């Protein structure tokens, strides 16, 4: 029996505190899995970076010519992302926004062909994962791609991390989703890395 129990997602102030320094997950560049995805031509505009942090992935995609909006719960992270984009002369937009309220973006008229998720889904509890899935269904255009990178789940943890099977359950074909890839990879960190899964899910036309 696992002793691990899911806790509520940290509040914005907790993330703000993390970004006063250099969090281990903020490696100063995009995760390699997303670089390869872009180089393969699988990212279409417009792009939403859900849980963008300090904006390295969003800035990379914008520099490659994509129209990108990055959203994050942390005001400090978004401030740093905007500063990066300004100093690098990159046309990327950033917004302080709860990624569990993507349906509100849809109500405001936003829609996206690609949603990238570098380390958001894997920290959420079960109910929050369901909320994110519902929001993605609202904001992602038919034919659009949700690409998510997350730590592989350890056997002694009940919820943290991801498994390919969970995505099949939370994004089922009967609800209009199609899994187009699921590969084992590494979630890179400033100090080392961890086994991870990179999964791509497409909304059916």
Where along the chain do its domains lie?
25-203
Give residue 3's pLDDT: 35
Give residue 2's pLDDT: 34
Contact predicate 54/81, CB 8 Å: yes
Helical pair 56-63 and 75-88, crossing angle rounded to 10 deg? 30
Give residue 169's pLDDT: 92
- Residue count of the chain, please give it: 205
C-alpha pair distances (Å), 24 with each of 18, 19, 70, 166, 199: 9, 10, 20, 26, 22
Give residue 6's pLDDT: 41
Give residue 82's pLDDT: 98
Give residue 23's pLDDT: 76
Give residue 172's pLDDT: 94
Domain 25-203 sits in which CATH superfamily? Vaccinia Virus protein VP39 (3.40.50.150)
- In degrees to the nearest 10, what's the CA dihedral of 39, 45, 48, 52? 40
What stretches in the chain show pLDDT beneath 70? 1-12, 15-16, 18-19, 21, 158
């Amino acid at each position: 029996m696992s002793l691990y129990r899911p806790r509520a997602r940290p509040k914005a102030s907790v993330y703000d505190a993390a970004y006063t320094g250099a969090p281990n997950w903020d490696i100063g560049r995009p995760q390699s899995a997303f670089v390869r995805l872009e180089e393969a031509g699988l990212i279409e505009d417009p792009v939403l970076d859900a849980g963008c942090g300090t904006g390295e992935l969003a800035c990379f995609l914008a520099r490659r010519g994509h129209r990108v909006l990055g959203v994050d719960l942390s005001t400090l992270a978004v401030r740093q992302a905007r500063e990066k984009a300004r100093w690098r002369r990159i046309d990327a937009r950033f917004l302080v926004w709860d990624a569990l309220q993507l349906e509100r973006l849809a109500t405001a008229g936003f829609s996206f062909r690609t949603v990238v998720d570098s380390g958001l889904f894997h920290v959420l509890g079960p109910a929050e994962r369901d909320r994110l899935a519902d929001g993605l269904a609202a904001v992602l255009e038919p034919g659009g791609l949700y690409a998510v990178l997350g730590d592989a789940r350890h056997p002694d943890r009940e919820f943290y991390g991801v498994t390919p099977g969970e995505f099949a359950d939370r994004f089922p074909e009967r609800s209009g989703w199609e899994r187009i890839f699921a590969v084992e990879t590494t979630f890179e960190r400033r100090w080392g890395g961890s086994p991870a899964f990179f999964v791509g899910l497409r909304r059916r036309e």
